Amino acid sequence: MILVTGGAGFIGSNFVLQWLAARDEPVVNLDNLTYAGNLRNLDSVRGDARHIFVRGDIDDPELVAQLLRAHRPRAVLNFAAETHVDRSILGPAEFVRTNIHGTFNLLEAARAYWGGLAGEEQRRFRFLQVSTDEVYGSLSAEEAAFRETTAYAPNSPYAASKAAADHMVRAYHHTYGLPTLTTNCSNNYGPFQFPEKLIPLVIINALAGKPIPVYGDGQNVRDWLYVDDHCSGIRRVLEAAQPGEVYNIGGNSEKNNLEVVRTLCAVLDELRPAPRPYASLIAYVKDRPGHDRRYAIDAGKIRRELGWQPAQNFAGGMRRTVSWYLANTEWSSSVTSGEYQKWMNANYQERGAA
- Active-site option among 59, 82, 86, 134: 134
- Active-site option among 57, 59, 86, 133: 133
Q: How many residues does the chain have?
A: 354
Q: How far is residue 245's CA from residue 177's CA, in Å, rounded to a whole number?
A: 13
Query: C-alpha distances in angstroms, 285 versus 219, 233, 312, 338?
Result: 13, 35, 31, 23
For 184-204, give one letter per residue: b (16+ CB within 10 A) or e.
Answer: bbbbbbbbbbbbbbbbbbbbb
Q: Which residues contact 115 (CB under 8 A, 6 or more apart)?
A: none
- Known catalytic residue at 158: yes
Closest listed residue to residue 208, CA positions, set 283, 284, 278:
278
- Known catalytic residue at 254: no
Q: How far is residue 129's CA from residue 184's CA, in Å, rounded to a whole number?
A: 9
Q: How far is residue 139's CA from residue 98's CA, in Å, rounded to a whole number?
A: 27
- Active-site option among 113, 136, 158, 325: 158
CA of residue 80 relative to chain centroid, distance? 9
Query: C-alpha distances in angstroms, 266 versus 92, 211, 280, 285?
Result: 36, 16, 11, 21
- Known catalytic residue at 86: no
Amino acid in position 104: F
Q: What positions carry a catalytic annotation?
A: 133-134, 158
